[in-house]
Amino acid sequence: MLAKLIQTVRPSAVTVIFLAIATGSSGLSLATHARELGEIEIGIVEDQTGESLVTRVQLLDSKGRAMRIKGARFARGWNLVEGPLLYRGRAGNYRYQVFHGPQFSAGNGGFTLHDDGAGSDTLRLQRHANIADEGWRGADLLARGVPDLVRPWLAAEDLDLAVIVDEQTAAEQEVPDAESFVLQPTASPADAAWVEHGSYHDTRPGSGLVLHHWLPPAEVPVDLPSSRLLVMSKQSVVPAGGLPVHNEIQRLWARDVPVWLASGHVDSIQILSEHLTRDGTDATKFTPYLEPDPGRFRGPRGPGRLIEYLYWQVLETGLRIPPSAGSGYGKGNSPLGYNRVYANTPHLSPNYWWLALKAGNSFVTNGPLLRARVNGYDAGSILTVPRGQAEFHLDVTLTLTTSDPVEYLDVIFNGKTLYQARLDEYAKQGGVIPPLQVTESGWAVVRVVTEREHTYRLASTAPFYIEFDGRARISRSAVRFFQDWLAKATKELASDAESAAAAAPYLAAADMFWTQRLSEATAD
């Protein structure tokens, strides 16, 4: 969307909502007859309406062991509870945690069971946001498993879409027809949620693409260039009723990244992916193919900060590719939707959602909910500066909902901090951000980074773009970085004659692209 210039002098408003933690302490009433096991029933409801919620529950005994709740689905220590928590077990002390997505307070509490006792309690979770009313719909674009087993978790995570990727080749499976891309939507359009399958995850060495709504027509040879899959997917005919192909870079650290970027066939980049997990463990470990700044990205937050930095380098080359997110559910220990992307669309349908994501009207998160606008425009917009005007003011407004302690809020412009503040300080001052001034073309993202030290937990908008004199920003240093990356990849592939021959056309095209890009650079 092309945004027109809006002049404003009013300060930016920041609406901050801190989520409280609901707690419960369930006392047991003695039963009138003896029991071999104690029983407890805890109703889990929305505080404002009293309606029962579908939740993700972890129940631990006194030794810290995860307990299965009868009748509930169980995965990696978590129970999917549809209605009240009903548990019958041995005498002892128990603790529980209850989650229903980032729009609700989390709940925790404990109870003691006796052999001859039974009790009941109610846990009320407060809703602190209803971003569906604002047009936001959340998705996890990297899940694994059987669709019918994944779909029930959508309600527990307050998630609208899960995409199941397949790492098998088409020779080992049947290609789903158009109707099977969307499975079992709920009956009510206002609460519709869906699971998609039929997306190919290319995990071969040097690759890391997710090709949504497309499967290769035959078994993929080991030496087939990954860029060939990009071309094939985009040349495929979308069947009647099917969804358009949407290609993602899932591994932004992979060898073939500069070739993919040069192809023009990349629709989004997963900047929150399997390298970030809820508790910081069982994350995908990786070594960047080309280290941008040796020694800089270390510690538990290092992988997340590195991928974010690489994404910023993509933006610095003038490419306008929105971010996305996927949790890797079904492989790691993160729950479905831990890493998620929200896209904004007034029309609730899969096709419109994917179009909104491609347009960059979105934000990514693994914690806070961050909705921001610049000069009244949504992320993905281009803000044009009238010719001859030397300065441009950015008026940032945002609404933030978070249960995590926030370290800082900032606005990044062309990879550097344009504005930063500790959120608690500005919350006390009414949450006012002064108008920000820029004097050159570029891109901006609004971020909230939490204080979690064991992992990189944050929310970030997709970029806003600012153009002076109708020119986009292209950084020479960023282009040269990807040229160096491409040179290293070319040298590696040259060591195998067969691989080199197959990749040669794509490497040559990428070299021409980056050479041309360098000649068009507008900034250092």
User: What proportion of the chain, given as a percentage, has pLDDT over 70?
Assistant: 88
pLDDT digits (tens, 9 = 90+) for 446-497: 999 999 989 999 999 999 999 999 999 999 999 999 999 999 999 999 998 8
Greater confidence, 36 or 216? 216
Residue 302 has pLDDT above 50, yes or no: yes
Q: Give the integer Cα–Cα distance in Å for 343 and 354.
A: 8
**Residue 65 burial by Cβ neighbours in a 10 Å radius (0-12, 13-18, 19+):** exposed
pLDDT digits (tens, 9 = 90+) for 319-350: 999 999 999 999 888 999 999 999 999 888 89
Residues 269, 249 contacting (CB under 8 angstroms): yes
**Nearest C-alpha neighbor of 15 from the set 414, 365, 426, 489:** 426
**Average pLDDT for 214-218:** 90
Residue 426 CB partners (closer than 8 Å, separation 6+): 14, 409, 432, 433
Q: Give the integer Cα–Cα distance in Å for 364 and 401.
A: 14
Sign of the C-alpha dihedral computed for residues 510, 514, 519 and 521 taken in this order? positive
Tokens 């609460």 -> residue? 191
**CATH number assigned to the domain covering 20-125:** 2.60.40.10
User: What proportion of the chain, given as a percentage, has pLDDT over 90?
Assistant: 72
Residue 157 CB partners (closer than 8 Å, separation 6+): 56, 99, 100, 101, 335, 336, 337
**Average pLDDT for 167-193:** 46
pLDDT bin (cut points 50, 70, 90) of residue 429 is low
Tell me what pLDDT residue 322 has: 98
Tell me what pLDDT residue 468 has: 97
Tell me what pLDDT residue 31 has: 37
Residue 104 has pLDDT above 90, yes or no: yes
pLDDT digits (tens, 9 = 90+) for 266-279: 999 999 999 999 88
**Average pLDDT for 159-183:** 61
**Nearest C-alpha neighbor of 226 from the set 185, 254, 191:** 254
The full 3-state SS of 428-477, as one line of letters, equals HCCCEECCEEECCCEEEEEEEEECCCCCCCEEEECCEEEEECCECCCEHH
The pair of structure tokens assigned to 213 is 């709504």
**Average pLDDT for 1-15:** 29
Helices (H), 197-277: 226-235, 257-263
Domain boundaries defined on the chain: 20-125, 130-476, 477-519
Q: Give the integer Cα–Cα distance in Å for 210 and 212.
A: 6
pLDDT bin (cut points 50, 70, 90) of residue 169 is low
Tell me what pLDDT residue 22 has: 59
Q: Give the integer Cα–Cα distance in Å for 212 and 243.
A: 9
Residue 505 CB partners (closer than 8 Å, separation 6+): none
Partner residues linked to 365 by β-bridges: 340, 459
Tell me what pLDDT residue 184 has: 38
pLDDT bin (cut points 50, 70, 90) of residue 426 is confident
Residue 170 has pLDDT above 50, yes or no: no
Residue 27 has pLDDT above 60, yes or no: no
DSSP label of 57 = E
Residue 177 has pLDDT above 60, yes or no: no
Tell me what pLDDT residue 116 has: 76
170-174, 367-371, 480-484: least confident range: 170-174
Residue 434 has pLDDT above 90, yes or no: no
* Greatest mean pLDDT range, 146-155, 236-245, 436-445: 436-445
Tell me what pLDDT residue 295 has: 86
The pair of structure tokens assigned to 105 is 């307070």
**Average pLDDT for 128-146:** 95
Mean pLDDT computed over every residue of the chain: 88
Instruction: Give the count of alpha carbons within 13 A of 230, CB side only.
Output: 22
Tell me what pLDDT residue 176 has: 43
* Secondary element (H or E) of residue 120: strand 117-125
* Secondary element (H or E) of residue 482: helix 476-494
**Nearest C-alpha neighbor of 339 from the set 328, 355, 350:** 328
Tell me what pLDDT residue 3 has: 26
- Backbone φ and ψ for 400, nearest 5 degrees, come out as -125, 130
**Average pLDDT for 66-95:** 93
| C-alpha distance from residue 272 to each of 210, 298, 346, 368, 513 (Å) | 14, 17, 25, 13, 27
Residue 25 has pLDDT above 70, yes or no: no
